[in-house]
Structure 1
């Protein structure tokens, strides 16, 4: 008597045979899904040459927004604010503060635009390519600006009278306590002046390293009598953000 054996192990005890074409369809599905995971429907990945520029554009847009309205980083180029701020420090300046009604107050370190020939002419990078790239990155806030900005501490504001006699600095006749002064300096650093009344809408600024700071005291013959227009102030210095061993926080409005 002849015995019919199952053609494959799966046919033995596996129930009824699959419909015609079922095996081929199963093998096709197995080959199509092997190693591909779950296929999402309704989504097509964009080519990299579209996604990468789009991501860069979004990143630059965010950086520009932060630089324009929130914070901007500046590099300290000189020792005029030592030891509060040191050469090479990078400081975060709160640009949102002026937009929300903040006004400079005595005791705050601030960054401001050169009000008129306080700084010597800045050298221009001789390589036009690198100069253009640096200017573009500075514009969007990815690198600190290198020229036309200074950082000093506010001593007096519009309407106040400032004077230095001997070693004593006074504002409206009251002695100013200056624990931030560079070691070995006094408030006047051998330069007596005043009394000077600060014009409305201006601030009187001096460096913490009083003997190494060409500040309002040295520009009394210039516009504003040495005072800086509030409109030229970028904002208060809120923090030292670099280097790591000199991180410091002065507060949201630089107190």
Structure 2
């Protein structure tokens, strides 16, 4: 084969170093199109991140902080927690033992506790769920609609639907009584023991308590005093519709990071009759 028989335009593009090699390079976009400046890319990425944060807050996860000592020893003041909003979707509802976040039902929080973030940056981050917002409480569900709660047996344990509940796994170790329902009326210095007190949770409501039972302004502190004729029957109970979601993680401080789940203490409690 002579040199005249060779292909004058090789297709492999490995030997041509002239104009043909330049024309075979890959184009990253239409000719003449300028790449977006870095500052514009940064703004775009920030907008996308904020949009995703708003979406997460609205439908899935939101951050909150602990405003008081009512959930000691598990949760401390200013701890940051994450709440799962989808926990009760599809017909689900809070269960006994769940740690939940709910909107202040009727002035349970003081003005300072319900204020929320104060700095402009924190307020903006709070709106999109990246910073804890105020006006909410964190408590443990003790009773659901129809449950009968009494205080207490001879060991100072709370009874739900007639069954004593052993809550030692999460209560403060120096708690003299697991459920100071009676102490709200007869005085904090009384010893725990059988009391002629009974609370029936209205349908569509929850009875909640803090784990630090001697320092928690919860349902037991807000329910109607026996014999009252002016107190509304739902006072002290939390409407299910006010529940934001279930706490599933303690994320700050990192040294105490922990996943939070429903304890087994209420498994033996029967459904209300």
TM-score (norm 1): 0.76
Match of 2:159 in 1: 170
**Structure 1 residue 225: deviation in Å?**
2.8
How many angstroms apart in 1 are the aligned matches of 2:114 and 2:250?
27
Aligned length: 219
Is 1:208 aligned to 2:211, yes or no? yes
Larger Rg: 1
How many angstroms apart in 2 are the aligned matches of 1:237 and 1:27?
67
Is 1:197 aligned to 2:207, yes or no? no
Q: Contact 1:124–1:131 at 8 Å: present in 2 too?
A: no
Match of 2:131 in 1: 143
**Structure 1 residue 244: deviation in Å?**
1.6
Is 1:96 aligned to 2:83, yes or no? no
Is 1:158 aligned to 2:161, yes or no? no
Name stretches of at least 5 consecutive residues in structure 1 with no aligned partner: 1-25
3-state SS of 1:92 partner: strand
**Structure 1 residue 100: deviation in Å?**
3.3
**Structure 1 residue 39: deviation in Å?**
6.2
**Structure 1 residue 98: deviation in Å?**
2.5
**Structure 1 residue 38: deviation in Å?**
7.5
How many angstroms apart in 2 are the aligned matches of 1:109 and 1:123?
19
Offset from partner CA, 1:156-210 (integer Å, 9 cap, x none): 0001111213623111111111121101102134616730110100000001110
3-state SS of 1:217 partner: helix
3-state SS of 1:59 partner: helix
- Relative to 1, partners in 2 of residues 1:151 and 1:38: Cα closer, same or farther, differing over 3 Å? same
How many angstroms apart in 2 are the aligned matches of 1:188 and 1:203?
16
How many angstroms apart in 2 are the aligned matches of 1:50 and 1:226?
52
TM-score (norm 2): 0.72
Q: CA RMSD in A?
A: 2.8
Is 1:232 aligned to 2:242, yes or no? yes
How many angstroms apart in 2 are the aligned matches of 1:101 and 1:61?
28
How many angstroms apart in 1 are the aligned matches of 2:202 and 2:77?
31
How many angstroms apart in 2 are the aligned matches of 1:181 and 1:115?
24
Name stretches of at least 5 consecutive residues in structure 2 with no aligned partner: 1-16, 186-196, 225-230, 264-273
Is 1:40 aligned to 2:31, yes or no? no
